[in-house]
Structure 1
Amino acid sequence: MTDRQFYVLLGPDGAGKSSVMAELSAALPGWRTLSTDDELVAAEHRLITQLRRNVIKDVLPGLDAAYSAEFLASLLGTAVVHLRDQLERQIRQDPEVPVLMDSYYYKILAKCRLAGLEGHPLYAWWRSFPQPRAVIYLDVSSETAWRRSGQGARLNPLEYFGRRPEWFGFESYQKNLRKLLLEETGQLPVTVIEEHSGTARTAEAVREVLTA
């Protein structure tokens, strides 16, 4: 199934994407927003947010020692399939309603690759899913993202290289993440939103692109 009536909001860690999605969910009348963030997941789908919390709390600290990268990819893939299912359900219910989706499979795929899983059969499956009409990429400097993370205090192991969150490991990870995200979406129209001060200004810039 292929449909072009949806858009993907993408960005590196610390770009403010979750905050922008939350603001746009109320500022885009007639649109549907799809995300795995807690505040945008319906009560009947709380398993998705529970799994995400368990990945951060239980799987990432034991990656390699207790859990493999393949196991991590399998768990993260539940979010990908959930977003696809929600998109297809929306299309069946009302194909005229435009959809803004959070990250889709692009960011998860990139993070799996950075975790050492360079090739996996799941990737071909994810890439076979419906493709968006366009991607809106929220750009942010590594310095700003590092500051937003509390100088690394709020990072999880899928946001930096190394044993602990330090500046150079974070900066290197984010540069590689950006490269993979733009590589994965290279066949699609991509609009880059440069860094803005504040969620409201960033959300307005995204809204202008979507409604142009």
Structure 2
Amino acid sequence: MDDARLAPEHALIGRLRRNVVKDVAPHRSSFSPEFLTTLVQTAVVHLRDELLRADAGAPVVVDSYYYKLLAKCRLAGAGRSPLLDWWRTFPRPSRVVYLDAPPEATWRRCREGADLNVLEHYGPRPDWDGFRRYQGDLAKVMRDEVHGLPVTVVEGAVGPEAAAEAVREVLVREFRR
């Protein structure tokens, strides 16, 4: 949910996302995992609605779709939530391009934890061990969620430009048909 790409009438989605990260996630002991998931759901339903409004048959590229949000909610403790089951009924992608960036590369890209939010690491503050463990668990849960879908893995340690070009190549190959 990139604020720069949200239409002005959808600014609420960005504010909710920021407030979940700032006001709810850091105080998870004060809120249930279902409360966190309910707030995150606004972004998930927004993504679904945007897909449903897209031109039928036109390829649509969505960064993470609901899979990363679903995985983060599961890691926050909402494993058996009916909300997550509902998300899984949303339109499924015809192709998943999975950017497989090792934690070492993403740790450098996030300025060794300086750019992380609390839903991207374990522990009260970002450190290498909490980040590495969380990212490993997140990758496993995301792979579980896309199991059964056609997945193309793109190496993410090559740098942003090379990774973007690899994703473009997959899209051209897949949607040329």
TM-score (normalised: structure 1): 0.78
**Between Structure 1 and Structure 2, which shows a larger proportion of strand residues?**
1
Q: Is residue 2:175 matched to residue 1:211?
A: no
Structural mapping, 1:107-122, within 5 Å:
107-122=68-83
Paired position in structure 2 for 1:82: 46
The answer to whether the 8 A contact 2:102-2:157 is kept is no
Aligned-CA RMSD value: 1.2
Q: Secondary structure at the match of 1:192?
A: strand
Question: Could you tell me how far apart the structure 1 residues matched to 2:71 and 2:147 are?
Answer: 13
Question: Could you tell me how far apart the structure 2 residues matched to 1:57 and 1:161 are?
Answer: 16
* Structure 1, unpaired ranges of 5+: 1-35
Paired position in structure 2 for 1:70: 34
Question: Could you tell me how far apart the structure 2 residues matched to 1:96 and 1:127 are?
Answer: 21
Paired position in structure 2 for 1:50: 15
Of 35, 39, 47, the residue aligned with 2:4 is 39
Question: Could you tell me how far apart the structure 1 residues matched to 2:162 and 2:7 are?
Answer: 27
Paired position in structure 2 for 1:161: 122
User: For the structure 1 residues 196 and 174, does the alpha-carbon distance in structure 2 shift closer, same or farther, using more than 3 Å as the test?
Assistant: closer
* Structure 2, unpaired ranges of 5+: none
Question: Could you tell me how far apart the structure 2 residues matched to 1:70 and 1:142 are?
Answer: 28
**Between Structure 1 and Structure 2, which shows a larger proportion of helix residues?**
2
User: For the structure 1 residues 196 and 62, does the alpha-carbon distance in structure 2 shift closer, same or farther, using more than 3 Å as the test?
Assistant: closer
C-alpha deviation, 1:115, in angstroms = 0.9
**Equivalent residue pairs, number:** 173
Q: Which has the higher contact order (CA 8 A, sep 6+)?
A: 1
The answer to whether the 8 A contact 2:33-2:78 is kept is yes
Paired position in structure 2 for 1:23: none
- Following TM superposition, the consecutive aligned residue runs of length 4 or more in structure 1 with deviations greater than 4 angstroms are none
Q: Deviations over 1:186-208 (max 9, x none)?
A: 11011010025432222111111
- Aligned residues with identical type, % of pairs: 55
Q: Is residue 2:149 matched to residue 1:185?
A: no
The answer to whether the 8 A contact 2:95-2:151 is kept is yes
Q: Secondary structure at the match of 1:137?
A: strand
Question: Could you tell me how far apart the structure 2 residues matched to 1:178 and 1:88 are?
Answer: 27
Q: Secondary structure at the match of 2:97?
A: strand
Structural mapping, 1:123-142, within 5 Å:
123-142=84-103
Q: 105-114 or 196-205: which moved more?
A: 196-205
Paired position in structure 1 for 2:60: 99
C-alpha deviation, 1:161, in angstroms = 1.1
Q: Deviations over 1:24-60 (max 9, x none)?
A: xxxxxxxxxxxx2112211221111111111111112
Paired position in structure 2 for 1:6: none
Question: Could you tell me how far apart the structure 2 residues matched to 1:198 and 1:176 are?
Answer: 22
